Amino acid sequence: MSEGAGVQGPPLWRLLQHTAAAVQAVLAGKSLTAQLEAVPAALRPGTQALSFQAMRQLGRARALCTLLAPKAPPPAAHALLCSALALCWDEAQAPYPGHTLVNQAVEAARRQRSTQAQAGFINACLRRFLRERAALVARSEADPQARWNHPLWWVERLRREHPALAEAWLVAAQQPAPMTLRVNTARGSVAQYQARLQAQGMPAGQPVGAQGLQLAQAVPVHQLPGFEGGDVSVQDAAAQLAAPLLLQGLPADRPLRILDACAAPGGKTGHLLELRPEARVLALEIDAGRAERIHDNLRRLAVQAEVRAADASAPDTWWDGEPFDAILLDAPCTASGIVRRHPDVRWLRREGDSAQLARTQALLLDRLWPLLRPGGHLLYCTCSVFRAEGDAVVQAFLGRNTQAHLRPSPGHLIAQALGPVPAVGDNALGEHDSFYYALLHKGPPRV
């Protein structure tokens, strides 16, 4: 038995062991990010690549596993079998030839106590899969979770809520997200930054939006010219809409007082300060550990904000009574719009999560709205694709707040949708995460 496909890298069977552990953890409700952090550094990049692919194909793999083993083996063996099937079922996308993956999965099973006893069973299942691939894949196709690699409730909800875009969204969700940069245009134009990339022998990227640059291939951030000095940041194209949207139409002749209510890791706080460096920004974050990351981001950009670890829904614990000109509420949500970057999210969420989060989102809106100065803006956003966390929250809020006026907003931005574009409200703009944006203006009471 070879030690694996990588001549210099770690043996494949070891990567498969860690990938299977990650799959088992996600199926038990734990986040993939936390799992990957625990993987030894030398094995992490390989494990991440394989486990991202396994997450994207887990619906298919579980369906195939049920066909091969109607009585599921114990969790560790089940996770290893699913991981191998996820990686090898589609020959066109498999990272290694099928027989290599199968040999190495069996080796992985043999070499750890939790799966040793099932090594023969795993071997038999996977070899049967290689022999009967076409028929088994065709049978699995009847299961929508296999077809779309998302839970059934998710597929059905998408079809109900975004009928024209659901399938394009599901296809897009299977692709890795591009690396998108936000050029700090206070320091130089997007075109100038493209020239800097080219001068370093890197492709110039594709401009997107006012400050964005999409790279054809991801690169380590320290290779980006001027990254350490804050000339450029990494931020999805849809997320780059937040700061300009919130600031548009607000007074330009005085320093604004801005609240970024749910701020960590500070991507949008930094953008607000790039656009209005003189603004007095209060950045709140309930998780003290995550709040530290805001400091790191702002330091790199050489901008300043007051950062506090606090609960935005309890202003009496942190508000000094001075109203805000602008409030950014990037609310906690299911993160269902960023499955390309976090492919485990689809398997971690439960059907009732949106409704529960919607109650938190409504509470945050209700508690923060009184802190907004008349004439001010509150931008509500989530990186969720579900209407319960977008339109529904905002429409209900408008119903109970006559001073809130909805300004033209992107609404639900659907990632990389390829289908026909419906009227304003749902936007298919292309290569970006799925976000929801509603800009609320505080004006005279509606009658």
> Where in the sequence numbering do the catalytic residues fall?
383
Regarding beta strands 372-382 and 212-215, do their DSSP bridges make them parallel or antiparallel, or are they unpaired? unpaired
Give the shortest CB-267-to-ligand SAM separation in angstroms: 3
- Specify the residue, 156 or 391, whose C-beta has the smaller distance to ligand SAM: 391
- Specify the residue, 85 or 329, whose C-beta has the smaller distance to ligand SAM: 329
Give the shortest CB-234-to-ligand SAM separation in angstroms: 11
Give the shortest CB-157-to-ligand SAM separation in angstroms: 20
Q: Find tokens 């702002």 and name the residue.
A: 298
Both structure tokens of 237: 């194209």
Distances (CA, A) of 220 to 188, 202, 227, 235: 21, 12, 10, 14
Binding site for ligand SAM (CB under 6 A): 262-268, 284-287, 290, 311-313, 330, 332
- Specify the residue, 286 or 398, whose C-beta has the smaller distance to ligand SAM: 286
What's at 438, amino acid-wise? A
For the beta sheet containing 206-208, the strands, ordered from the edge strand earlier in sequence to the opposite edge, are 206-208, 212-215, 179-183, 232-234
DSSP helix/strand/coil, 368: helix
Distances (CA, A) of 33 to 22, 47, 52, 214, 293: 9, 11, 10, 24, 16
Q: Find tokens 């106590």 and name the residue.
A: 113
- Specify the residue, 287 or 351, whose C-beta has the smaller distance to ligand SAM: 287
Give the shortest CB-262-to-ligand SAM separation in angstroms: 3
Q: Annotate 259-272 with DSSP letters as a single string.
A: EESS-TT-HHHHHH
Could you give the maximum distance between any two Cα atoms of the chain, in Å? 78
Q: Find tokens 């936000």 and name the residue.
A: 182
- The answer to whether 403 and 443 are in contact (CB under 8 A) is yes
- Specify the residue, 32 or 81, whose C-beta has the smaller distance to ligand SAM: 32
Give the shortest CB-264-to-ligand SAM separation in angstroms: 4
